[in-house]
Structure 1
Amino acid sequence: MAVPKATGHRFTYADYRQWPGDERWELIDGVAYAMAPAPTIAHQSLVLAIAAQIDDALDGTPCRTLIAPVDVLLPVADEADDQATTVVQPDVLVVCDPAKVTESNIRGAPEWIIEVISPATARHDHLTKRALYERAGVREYWLVHPVDRLVTLYRLQDGRYGGPEIVEMTGERSPAVFPEVVIRWQAVLDKLPLGAARSVNPHA
Protein backbone atom coordinates (compact mmCIF):
# COMPACT_ATOMS: atom_id res chain seq x y z
CA MET A 1 0.00 0.00 0.00
CA ALA A 2 1.34 3.47 -0.87
CA VAL A 3 1.56 5.27 2.49
CA PRO A 4 3.18 8.73 2.74
CA LYS A 5 6.08 9.04 5.15
CA ALA A 6 4.92 11.16 8.09
CA THR A 7 7.35 14.06 7.92
CA GLY A 8 7.48 17.53 6.48
CA HIS A 9 10.93 16.97 5.01
CA ARG A 10 11.28 17.14 1.23
CA PHE A 11 13.34 14.09 0.24
CA THR A 12 15.69 13.73 -2.71
CA TYR A 13 17.21 10.82 -4.58
CA ALA A 14 20.34 11.31 -2.45
CA ASP A 15 18.24 10.61 0.67
CA TYR A 16 16.46 7.73 -1.01
CA ARG A 17 19.71 5.93 -1.85
CA GLN A 18 20.77 5.98 1.80
CA TRP A 19 17.70 4.18 3.10
CA PRO A 20 17.93 0.49 4.13
CA GLY A 21 17.78 -1.96 1.26
CA ASP A 22 14.96 -3.91 2.89
CA GLU A 23 12.72 -0.83 2.84
CA ARG A 24 10.99 0.04 -0.42
CA TRP A 25 9.92 3.58 -1.22
CA GLU A 26 8.95 5.88 -4.06
CA LEU A 27 9.35 9.65 -4.07
CA ILE A 28 6.81 11.96 -5.65
CA ASP A 29 7.60 15.66 -5.43
CA GLY A 30 9.76 15.00 -2.38
CA VAL A 31 7.11 12.99 -0.51
CA ALA A 32 8.14 9.41 0.31
CA TYR A 33 5.54 6.69 -0.20
CA ALA A 34 6.09 3.28 1.40
CA MET A 35 5.62 0.21 -0.77
CA ALA A 36 4.91 -3.35 0.31
CA PRO A 37 8.12 -5.30 1.10
CA ALA A 38 7.54 -7.77 -1.73
CA PRO A 39 4.80 -8.44 -4.27
CA THR A 40 2.90 -11.71 -4.26
CA ILE A 41 3.65 -14.61 -6.58
CA ALA A 42 0.44 -13.88 -8.47
CA HIS A 43 1.43 -10.25 -8.97
CA GLN A 44 4.88 -11.19 -10.22
CA SER A 45 3.44 -13.83 -12.54
CA LEU A 46 1.12 -11.27 -14.10
CA VAL A 47 3.86 -8.65 -14.47
CA LEU A 48 6.27 -11.12 -16.05
CA ALA A 49 3.65 -12.44 -18.46
CA ILE A 50 2.82 -8.94 -19.70
CA ALA A 51 6.47 -7.89 -19.92
CA ALA A 52 7.43 -11.05 -21.82
CA GLN A 53 4.89 -10.36 -24.55
CA ILE A 54 6.07 -6.77 -24.87
CA ASP A 55 9.74 -7.74 -24.89
CA ASP A 56 9.20 -10.36 -27.59
CA ALA A 57 7.31 -7.90 -29.80
CA LEU A 58 9.96 -5.18 -29.44
CA ASP A 59 12.93 -7.51 -29.98
CA GLY A 60 15.32 -5.98 -32.50
CA THR A 61 14.20 -2.41 -31.81
CA PRO A 62 15.97 0.22 -29.66
CA CYS A 63 13.22 -0.14 -27.04
CA ARG A 64 13.84 -1.89 -23.73
CA THR A 65 11.22 -3.56 -21.56
CA LEU A 66 11.95 -3.46 -17.83
CA ILE A 67 10.14 -4.53 -14.68
CA ALA A 68 10.36 -3.37 -11.07
CA PRO A 69 12.45 -2.84 -9.14
CA VAL A 70 14.19 -0.25 -11.31
CA ASP A 71 14.48 3.40 -10.32
CA VAL A 72 12.85 5.80 -12.77
CA LEU A 73 13.91 9.37 -12.10
CA LEU A 74 11.61 12.11 -13.34
CA PRO A 75 13.76 15.19 -12.73
CA VAL A 76 12.76 18.77 -13.33
CA ALA A 77 14.71 20.30 -16.23
CA ASP A 78 18.47 19.80 -15.66
CA GLU A 79 18.10 18.78 -12.03
CA ALA A 80 21.02 16.55 -10.98
CA ASP A 81 20.19 12.97 -10.04
CA ASP A 82 20.92 13.47 -6.35
CA GLN A 83 18.60 16.49 -6.27
CA ALA A 84 15.71 14.76 -8.03
CA THR A 85 12.59 14.64 -5.85
CA THR A 86 10.61 12.14 -7.93
CA VAL A 87 11.68 8.50 -8.20
CA VAL A 88 9.21 5.74 -9.01
CA GLN A 89 9.34 2.01 -9.69
CA PRO A 90 6.65 1.12 -12.23
CA ASP A 91 5.70 -2.53 -12.54
CA VAL A 92 6.43 -2.56 -16.29
CA LEU A 93 7.98 0.16 -18.40
CA VAL A 94 9.21 0.61 -21.96
CA VAL A 95 11.96 3.11 -22.76
CA CYS A 96 13.23 3.68 -26.28
CA ASP A 97 15.73 6.53 -25.87
CA PRO A 98 19.17 5.03 -25.05
CA ALA A 99 20.21 8.36 -23.53
CA LYS A 100 17.70 7.80 -20.71
CA VAL A 101 19.25 4.47 -19.70
CA THR A 102 22.10 4.69 -17.18
CA GLU A 103 23.98 2.04 -15.26
CA SER A 104 21.77 2.45 -12.19
CA ASN A 105 18.46 3.98 -13.29
CA ILE A 106 16.23 5.37 -16.00
CA ARG A 107 16.39 9.16 -16.20
CA GLY A 108 13.36 10.65 -17.90
CA ALA A 109 9.90 9.52 -18.86
CA PRO A 110 9.42 6.06 -20.38
CA GLU A 111 7.20 5.83 -23.43
CA TRP A 112 4.81 3.37 -21.76
CA ILE A 113 4.13 2.46 -18.13
CA ILE A 114 1.93 -0.32 -16.76
CA GLU A 115 0.94 -0.54 -13.11
CA VAL A 116 -0.83 -3.55 -11.60
CA ILE A 117 -3.17 -2.36 -8.87
CA SER A 118 -5.26 -3.64 -5.99
CA PRO A 119 -8.12 -1.93 -4.13
CA ALA A 120 -5.54 -0.66 -1.61
CA THR A 121 -3.47 1.10 -4.28
CA ALA A 122 -6.18 2.13 -6.75
CA ARG A 123 -6.57 5.73 -5.56
CA HIS A 124 -2.81 6.36 -5.52
CA ASP A 125 -2.29 4.85 -8.98
CA HIS A 126 -5.33 6.46 -10.56
CA LEU A 127 -4.85 9.94 -9.12
CA THR A 128 -1.33 10.66 -7.87
CA LYS A 129 0.59 8.57 -10.38
CA ARG A 130 -1.67 9.44 -13.30
CA ALA A 131 -1.08 13.15 -12.70
CA LEU A 132 2.65 12.53 -12.32
CA TYR A 133 2.98 10.47 -15.50
CA GLU A 134 0.92 13.00 -17.44
CA ARG A 135 3.16 15.84 -16.27
CA ALA A 136 6.32 13.87 -17.02
CA GLY A 137 5.20 13.07 -20.57
CA VAL A 138 4.63 9.29 -20.36
CA ARG A 139 2.91 8.69 -23.69
CA GLU A 140 0.71 5.80 -22.54
CA TYR A 141 -0.29 4.62 -19.06
CA TRP A 142 -2.15 1.39 -18.35
CA LEU A 143 -3.61 0.32 -15.02
CA VAL A 144 -4.31 -3.40 -14.81
CA HIS A 145 -7.03 -4.48 -12.36
CA PRO A 146 -6.54 -8.25 -11.94
CA VAL A 147 -9.47 -8.68 -9.55
CA ASP A 148 -12.03 -7.07 -11.85
CA ARG A 149 -10.21 -8.26 -15.01
CA LEU A 150 -10.23 -4.69 -16.37
CA VAL A 151 -7.61 -2.38 -17.83
CA THR A 152 -7.77 1.43 -17.68
CA LEU A 153 -5.85 3.13 -20.49
CA TYR A 154 -4.63 6.72 -20.71
CA ARG A 155 -2.97 8.22 -23.80
CA LEU A 156 -1.11 11.52 -23.99
CA GLN A 157 -2.66 13.98 -26.44
CA ASP A 158 -1.32 17.52 -26.70
CA GLY A 159 0.46 17.09 -23.38
CA ARG A 160 -2.61 15.87 -21.51
CA TYR A 161 -4.24 12.52 -20.87
CA GLY A 162 -7.65 12.23 -22.43
CA GLY A 163 -10.51 10.52 -20.67
CA PRO A 164 -9.80 6.96 -19.58
CA GLU A 165 -10.70 4.00 -21.76
CA ILE A 166 -11.73 0.96 -19.74
CA VAL A 167 -11.57 -2.45 -21.41
CA GLU A 168 -11.91 -6.03 -20.29
CA MET A 169 -8.93 -8.38 -20.08
CA THR A 170 -10.22 -10.44 -22.95
CA GLY A 171 -9.05 -10.96 -26.50
CA GLU A 172 -6.11 -8.83 -27.60
CA ARG A 173 -5.04 -5.23 -27.09
CA SER A 174 -2.27 -3.06 -28.57
CA PRO A 175 -1.05 0.24 -27.16
CA ALA A 176 -1.39 3.22 -29.49
CA VAL A 177 2.27 4.07 -28.92
CA PHE A 178 3.42 0.58 -30.02
CA PRO A 179 0.81 -0.88 -32.39
CA GLU A 180 3.14 -3.78 -33.17
CA VAL A 181 2.82 -5.01 -29.58
CA VAL A 182 -0.17 -7.29 -29.05
CA ILE A 183 -1.11 -8.22 -25.49
CA ARG A 184 -3.00 -11.51 -25.46
CA TRP A 185 -4.91 -11.36 -22.19
CA GLN A 186 -5.79 -15.02 -21.87
CA ALA A 187 -2.11 -15.93 -22.06
CA VAL A 188 -1.48 -13.45 -19.23
CA LEU A 189 -4.29 -14.79 -17.07
CA ASP A 190 -3.20 -18.37 -17.67
CA LYS A 191 0.03 -17.56 -15.82
CA LEU A 192 -1.82 -16.76 -12.60
CA PRO A 193 -1.99 -19.49 -9.94
CA LEU A 194 -5.45 -21.01 -9.68
CA GLY A 195 -7.75 -18.63 -7.83
CA ALA A 196 -4.98 -16.08 -7.40
CA ALA A 197 -6.63 -13.14 -9.13
CA ARG A 198 -8.31 -12.10 -5.88
CA SER A 199 -5.08 -12.30 -3.91
CA VAL A 200 -2.89 -10.14 -6.16
CA ASN A 201 -1.25 -7.53 -3.96
CA PRO A 202 1.04 -5.29 -6.04
CA HIS A 203 3.98 -3.40 -4.55
CA ALA A 204 2.99 0.05 -5.69
Structure 2
Amino acid sequence: MPLSQETKKYTFADYLTYPEDERWEIIDGVPYMQAAPAPVHQEVLTELVRQMANYLTGKPCKVYPAPFCVRLPLGNEKNEREVKNIVEPDISIICDRSKIDDKGCNGAPDMIIEIISPSSIKMDRVVKFNKYEKAGVKEYWIVEPDQKLVSVVVLQSNQRYGRTELYTEDDKITVSIFPDLIIDLSVVFTS
Protein backbone atom coordinates (compact mmCIF):
# COMPACT_ATOMS: atom_id res chain seq x y z
CA MET A 1 0.00 0.00 0.00
CA PRO A 2 1.15 3.54 -0.61
CA LEU A 3 2.82 5.29 2.30
CA SER A 4 0.76 8.42 1.78
CA GLN A 5 -1.58 10.05 -0.69
CA GLU A 6 0.29 13.37 -0.57
CA THR A 7 1.35 15.05 -3.79
CA LYS A 8 5.05 14.83 -2.85
CA LYS A 9 7.00 12.65 -5.25
CA TYR A 10 9.47 10.45 -3.42
CA THR A 11 12.86 9.67 -4.93
CA PHE A 12 15.91 7.51 -4.45
CA ALA A 13 17.18 10.14 -1.99
CA ASP A 14 14.15 9.36 0.21
CA TYR A 15 14.59 5.62 -0.30
CA LEU A 16 18.11 5.86 1.13
CA THR A 17 16.64 7.18 4.42
CA TYR A 18 14.25 4.24 4.95
CA PRO A 19 15.12 1.70 7.68
CA GLU A 20 17.37 -1.07 6.37
CA ASP A 21 15.21 -3.77 7.97
CA GLU A 22 12.17 -2.75 5.88
CA ARG A 23 11.59 -3.46 2.19
CA TRP A 24 10.32 -0.51 0.15
CA GLU A 25 9.72 0.26 -3.49
CA ILE A 26 8.93 3.62 -5.06
CA ILE A 27 6.83 3.63 -8.23
CA ASP A 28 6.30 6.95 -10.00
CA GLY A 29 7.31 8.73 -6.80
CA VAL A 30 4.87 6.80 -4.55
CA PRO A 31 6.43 4.60 -1.83
CA TYR A 32 5.09 1.08 -1.18
CA MET A 33 6.12 -1.09 1.75
CA GLN A 34 6.68 -4.74 0.81
CA ALA A 35 5.10 -7.53 2.84
CA ALA A 36 7.25 -10.37 4.14
CA PRO A 37 7.16 -13.26 1.65
CA ALA A 38 5.49 -16.59 2.43
CA PRO A 39 7.59 -19.76 2.77
CA VAL A 40 6.46 -21.10 -0.64
CA HIS A 41 7.59 -17.83 -2.22
CA GLN A 42 11.05 -18.25 -0.68
CA GLU A 43 11.27 -21.91 -1.73
CA VAL A 44 10.46 -21.01 -5.36
CA LEU A 45 12.90 -18.08 -5.26
CA THR A 46 15.69 -20.24 -3.82
CA GLU A 47 15.32 -22.93 -6.48
CA LEU A 48 15.20 -20.45 -9.35
CA VAL A 49 18.28 -18.66 -8.00
CA ARG A 50 20.08 -22.00 -7.53
CA GLN A 51 19.50 -23.09 -11.12
CA MET A 52 20.43 -19.69 -12.53
CA ALA A 53 23.48 -19.15 -10.30
CA ASN A 54 24.82 -22.60 -11.17
CA TYR A 55 24.55 -21.76 -14.87
CA LEU A 56 26.09 -18.29 -14.47
CA THR A 57 29.13 -19.50 -12.52
CA GLY A 58 32.22 -18.23 -14.33
CA LYS A 59 30.17 -16.05 -16.71
CA PRO A 60 30.01 -12.22 -16.71
CA CYS A 61 26.31 -12.06 -15.81
CA LYS A 62 25.28 -12.31 -12.15
CA VAL A 63 22.03 -13.20 -10.40
CA TYR A 64 20.82 -11.07 -7.48
CA PRO A 65 17.93 -12.24 -5.27
CA ALA A 66 15.81 -9.84 -3.21
CA PRO A 67 16.35 -7.72 -1.32
CA PHE A 68 18.26 -5.95 -4.10
CA CYS A 69 17.64 -2.35 -5.14
CA VAL A 70 17.09 -1.56 -8.83
CA ARG A 71 16.82 2.06 -9.93
CA LEU A 72 14.96 2.62 -13.17
CA PRO A 73 15.81 6.13 -14.38
CA LEU A 74 13.48 7.77 -16.90
CA GLY A 75 16.35 9.70 -18.45
CA ASN A 76 15.27 13.18 -17.33
CA GLU A 77 16.78 13.04 -13.84
CA LYS A 78 19.73 15.32 -13.10
CA ASN A 79 21.29 12.61 -10.92
CA GLU A 80 20.49 9.19 -9.48
CA ARG A 81 19.06 10.69 -6.28
CA GLU A 82 16.13 12.06 -8.36
CA VAL A 83 15.06 8.63 -9.71
CA LYS A 84 11.37 8.05 -8.91
CA ASN A 85 11.20 4.33 -9.78
CA ILE A 86 13.04 2.08 -7.35
CA VAL A 87 12.07 -1.60 -7.27
CA GLU A 88 13.24 -4.71 -5.46
CA PRO A 89 12.56 -7.56 -7.90
CA ASP A 90 12.59 -11.06 -6.47
CA ILE A 91 15.37 -11.97 -8.92
CA SER A 92 17.50 -9.73 -11.15
CA ILE A 93 20.10 -10.86 -13.66
CA ILE A 94 22.58 -8.20 -14.73
CA CYS A 95 25.21 -8.62 -17.42
CA ASP A 96 26.47 -5.04 -17.65
CA ARG A 97 28.68 -4.77 -14.55
CA SER A 98 28.90 -0.97 -14.96
CA LYS A 99 25.28 -0.80 -13.73
CA ILE A 100 26.25 -2.32 -10.36
CA ASP A 101 27.30 -0.09 -7.48
CA ASP A 102 27.25 -0.33 -3.70
CA LYS A 103 23.53 0.56 -3.65
CA GLY A 104 22.40 -2.08 -6.17
CA CYS A 105 21.68 -1.65 -9.88
CA ASN A 106 21.32 1.67 -11.68
CA GLY A 107 19.49 0.87 -14.92
CA ALA A 108 17.53 -2.02 -16.37
CA PRO A 109 18.62 -5.55 -15.50
CA ASP A 110 18.77 -7.98 -18.43
CA MET A 111 16.18 -10.21 -16.77
CA ILE A 112 13.73 -9.81 -13.90
CA ILE A 113 11.59 -12.41 -12.15
CA GLU A 114 8.73 -11.47 -9.84
CA ILE A 115 7.08 -14.13 -7.69
CA ILE A 116 3.56 -12.92 -7.07
CA SER A 117 1.50 -13.06 -3.94
CA PRO A 118 -2.18 -12.09 -3.59
CA SER A 119 -1.16 -8.57 -2.54
CA SER A 120 1.22 -8.00 -5.48
CA ILE A 121 -0.78 -9.28 -8.48
CA LYS A 122 -1.78 -5.90 -9.93
CA MET A 123 1.63 -4.36 -9.25
CA ASP A 124 3.54 -7.23 -10.90
CA ARG A 125 1.19 -7.91 -13.84
CA VAL A 126 0.42 -4.32 -14.81
CA VAL A 127 2.48 -1.58 -13.16
CA LYS A 128 5.87 -3.31 -13.08
CA PHE A 129 5.24 -4.99 -16.45
CA ASN A 130 4.92 -1.54 -18.02
CA LYS A 131 7.90 -0.11 -16.10
CA TYR A 132 10.16 -3.03 -17.02
CA GLU A 133 9.13 -2.86 -20.68
CA LYS A 134 9.76 0.90 -20.84
CA ALA A 135 13.13 0.52 -19.04
CA GLY A 136 14.27 -2.14 -21.52
CA VAL A 137 14.34 -5.29 -19.35
CA LYS A 138 14.96 -7.97 -22.00
CA GLU A 139 13.08 -10.81 -20.30
CA TYR A 140 10.42 -10.68 -17.58
CA TRP A 141 8.94 -13.66 -15.75
CA ILE A 142 5.92 -13.61 -13.47
CA VAL A 143 5.83 -16.72 -11.27
CA GLU A 144 2.61 -17.82 -9.56
CA PRO A 145 3.49 -20.39 -6.88
CA ASP A 146 -0.12 -21.22 -5.96
CA GLN A 147 -1.08 -22.03 -9.57
CA LYS A 148 2.39 -23.44 -10.42
CA LEU A 149 2.43 -21.19 -13.47
CA VAL A 150 5.08 -18.98 -15.09
CA SER A 151 4.35 -16.20 -17.59
CA VAL A 152 7.31 -15.12 -19.73
CA VAL A 153 7.62 -12.06 -21.97
CA VAL A 154 10.61 -11.09 -24.08
CA LEU A 155 11.45 -7.62 -25.36
CA GLN A 156 11.15 -7.44 -29.14
CA SER A 157 13.06 -5.26 -31.62
CA ASN A 158 10.29 -2.62 -31.37
CA GLN A 159 11.10 -2.28 -27.64
CA ARG A 160 7.73 -3.83 -26.68
CA TYR A 161 7.13 -7.15 -24.98
CA GLY A 162 5.98 -9.88 -27.33
CA ARG A 163 3.30 -12.49 -26.77
CA THR A 164 3.15 -13.95 -23.26
CA GLU A 165 4.32 -17.57 -23.12
CA LEU A 166 2.80 -19.67 -20.32
CA TYR A 167 4.46 -22.62 -18.59
CA THR A 168 3.25 -25.09 -15.96
CA GLU A 169 5.00 -27.26 -13.41
CA ASP A 170 5.53 -29.97 -16.05
CA ASP A 171 7.50 -27.70 -18.37
CA LYS A 172 11.08 -26.63 -18.86
CA ILE A 173 11.77 -23.03 -19.89
CA THR A 174 14.59 -22.05 -22.20
CA VAL A 175 15.78 -18.63 -21.04
CA SER A 176 15.79 -16.40 -24.13
CA ILE A 177 18.83 -14.35 -23.09
CA PHE A 178 20.78 -17.58 -22.38
CA PRO A 179 19.57 -20.16 -24.94
CA ASP A 180 21.54 -22.97 -23.29
CA LEU A 181 19.97 -22.34 -19.84
CA ILE A 182 16.89 -24.48 -19.28
CA ILE A 183 14.92 -24.05 -16.04
CA ASP A 184 13.17 -27.22 -14.86
CA LEU A 185 9.86 -26.12 -13.32
CA SER A 186 9.14 -29.58 -11.88
CA VAL A 187 12.01 -28.91 -9.46
CA VAL A 188 10.96 -25.26 -8.86
CA PHE A 189 7.41 -26.27 -7.90
CA THR A 190 8.19 -29.33 -5.75
CA SER A 191 6.26 -28.14 -2.69
- TM (norm. structure 1) is 0.87
Deviations 1:33-62 (A, max 9, x none): 2211x2222211210110110111121110
Instruction: Output aligned runs, 1:142-161, within 5 Å.
Output: 142-157=141-156, 158-161=158-161
* Residue 51 (structure 1) aligns with: 49
Instruction: Output aligned runs, 1:1-204, within 5 Å.
Output: 3-6=1-4, 7-36=6-35, 38-77=36-75, 79=77, 80-157=79-156, 158-190=158-190, 192=191
Q: Greater RCO between the two (CA within 8 Å, min separation 6)?
A: 1
Deviations 1:135-170 (A, max 9, x none): 000000000011111111111112001232222122
What is the aligned residue count? 188
Residue type of the alignment partner of 1:136: A
Structure 1: stretches of 5+ with no match in the other structure:
193-204
Q: Which SS does the other structure have where 1:142 is aligned? A: strand
8 Å CA contact retained: 1:151, 1:167: yes
Q: Identity rate of aligned residues, in percent?
A: 38
8 Å CA contact retained: 2:150, 2:168: yes
Q: Which SS does the other structure have where 2:101 is aligned? A: coil
Aligned-pair Cα RMSD in Å: 1.4
What stretches of structure 1 move > 6 A for 4+ residues in a row? none
Residue type of the alignment partner of 2:164: P
Q: Which SS does the other structure have where 1:179 is aligned? A: coil
Tell me the distance in 2 between the aligned counterparts of 1:131 and 1:4. Answer: 19
Tell me the distance in 2 between the aligned counterparts of 1:66 and 1:148. Answer: 25
